[in-house]
């Protein structure tokens, strides 16, 4: 297979089983992998300032073409220097094509063979979005990595529906490649097919013929059973081209990230760390701290003494709980800052463990500790249903 654009050369530096540590180039810097990409849907990570996001130091930041097309408009972003100039965040960006909205806004979407017709979730304005429109929007936004427009369906779904989505995804990817992004952008294809091995095989084979600079596994974590999801990841992630970045779309829980890395994945994104952070569900190596729970009301302990973020260095659990209880805006910022720092640092540590050869043992120890912490929480709150209810009802925004 011919190499991708020179600026996206992927170089594998070490492997442990299928897990791999590497690096690839973009016009805005090298990206060490594996890496977690924070989701800045509207060109901002909810609750964080640019300086806070820079301090977390993610390799790539992800924005959404559909949302930025609606507001402020891709032309305005382009006039201000693309995402890099518009945000002042001059590091690698990736834009989602808008294809995920075919799934997430399904009640507002009508799928055609060459495009989708949808109504804006803001005001109902009719919109047309297809591979040509998506490529034009992403060219204007100026991201380093751009995604082919694909058809993602929720699962379970009739096999005929998934097969039709595979055919559209291939047809649309061919159009995306033909109309091509800018010379300073790399196009990544998305392998679809649900959890059907034959359909995944078909999608993979069709997309490999396009010789794209990178590939993603899409259409997962959309309603299928976990066992089926992981069977698909383990079967197909190692078969994505070894000399290109491999991207698993939409998975975010810490153990899932490590499982994806073990399967050979390089890039991840998910709204879960930030969404849970705003809700007061905070990651630690001993599982999730539901900060609204009564047990934290008088605790002067840090969230995670092994985490070096500002929240863990300075903020006792009792104060964090208070901020969430009274609805202080600072709670959203602190919860998001911690969860995102924890997630990016965890994936960075996984990379270091691949480089020194200890990844498998380190991952097993992390998973055991995480699961033990989650089991202990369930045991405690079986005896405190009111505390568990308050944890579930903590505030959370309905979008990413």
Instruction: Reply yes or no on whether 386 is catalytic.
Output: no
Element (H, E) at 135: helix 131-141
Are residues 285 and 370 in contact, defined by beta-carbon separation less than 8 angstroms?
A: yes
Catalytic pick among 150, 256, 269, 304: 269
N- to C-terminal Cα distance for the chain?
A: 36
φ, ψ for residue 249, nearest 5 deg: -85, 130
* Token representation of residue 125: 């304005």
| Tokens 């291939």 found at | 170
Candidates 96, 144, 196, 304; catalytic one: 96
What are φ and ψ of residue 386, in 5° steps?
-65, -40
Task: Confirm whether 25 is a catalytic residue.
Answer: no
User: Using CB atoms within 10 A of its CB, is residue 300 exposed (0-12), middle (13-18) or buried (19+)?
Assistant: exposed
Q: Which tokens belong to 178?
A: 């033909």
What's the rounded Cα separation, in Å, for the pair 289 and 285? 10
Residue 241: helix, strand or coil by DSSP? Answer: coil
SS3 of 156-214 = CCCHHHHHHHHHHHHHHHHHHHHHCCCCCCEEEEEECCCCCHHHHHHHHHHHHCCCCCE
Maximum CA pair distance of the chain?
61
DSSP string, 24-56: EEETTEEEEESEEE-B-TTSS-TT--HHHHHHH
**How far apart, in whole angstroms, are the C-alpha atoms of residue 219 and residue 131?**
17
Active site residues: 96, 269
């Amino acid at each position: 297979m011919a190499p991708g654009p020179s600026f996206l050369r992927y170089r594998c530096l070490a492997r442990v089983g299928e897990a791999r540590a590497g690096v690839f180039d973009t016009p805005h810097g090298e990206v060490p992998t594996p890496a977690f990409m924070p989701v800045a849907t509207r060109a901002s990570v909810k609750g964080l300032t640019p300086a806070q996001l820079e301090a977390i130091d993610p390799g790539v930041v992800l924005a959404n073409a559909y949302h930025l097309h609606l507001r402020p408009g891709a032309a305005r972003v382009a006039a201000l220097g693309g995402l890099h100039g518009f945000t002042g965040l001059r590091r690698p960006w990736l834009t989602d094509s808008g294809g995920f909205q075919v799934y997430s806004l399904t009640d507002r979407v009508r799928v055609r063979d060459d495009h989708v017709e949808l109504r804006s979730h803001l005001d109902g304005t009719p919109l047309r979005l297809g591979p040509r429109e998506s490529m034009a929007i992403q060219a204007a936004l100026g991201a380093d990595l751009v995604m082919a427009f694909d058809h993602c369906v929720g699962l379970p779904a009739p096999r005929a529906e998934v097969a039709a989505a595979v055919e559209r995804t291939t047809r649309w990817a061919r159009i995306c490649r033909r109309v091509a992004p800018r010379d300073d952008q790399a196009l990544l294809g998305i392998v679809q097919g649900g959890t059907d091995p034959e359909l995944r095989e078909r999608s993979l084979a069709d997309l490999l013929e396009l010789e794209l600079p990178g590939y993603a596994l899409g259409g997962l974590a959309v309603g299928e059973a976990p066992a089926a999801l992981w069977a698909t990841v383990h079967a197909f992630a190692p078969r994505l081209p070894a000399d290109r970045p491999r991207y698993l779309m939409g998975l975010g829980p810490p153990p899932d990230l490590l499982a994806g890395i073990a399967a050979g994945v390089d890039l991840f994104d998910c709204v879960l760390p930030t969404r849970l952070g705003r809700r007061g569900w905070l990651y630690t190596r001993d599982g999730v701290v539901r900060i609204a729970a009564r047990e934290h009301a008088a605790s002067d302990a840090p969230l995670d003494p092994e985490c070096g973020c500002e929240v863990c260095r300075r903020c006792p659990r009792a104060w964090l709980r208070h901020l969430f209880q009274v609805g202080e805006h600072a709670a959203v910022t602190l919860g998001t800052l911690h969860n995102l720092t924890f997630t990016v640092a965890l994936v960075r540590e996984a990379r270091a463990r691949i480089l020194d050869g200890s990844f498998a043992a380190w991952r097993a120890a992390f998973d055991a500790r995480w699961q033990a912490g989650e089991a202990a929480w369930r045991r405690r709150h079986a005896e405190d249903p009111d505390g568990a209810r308050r944890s579930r009802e903590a505030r959370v925004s309905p979008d990413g």
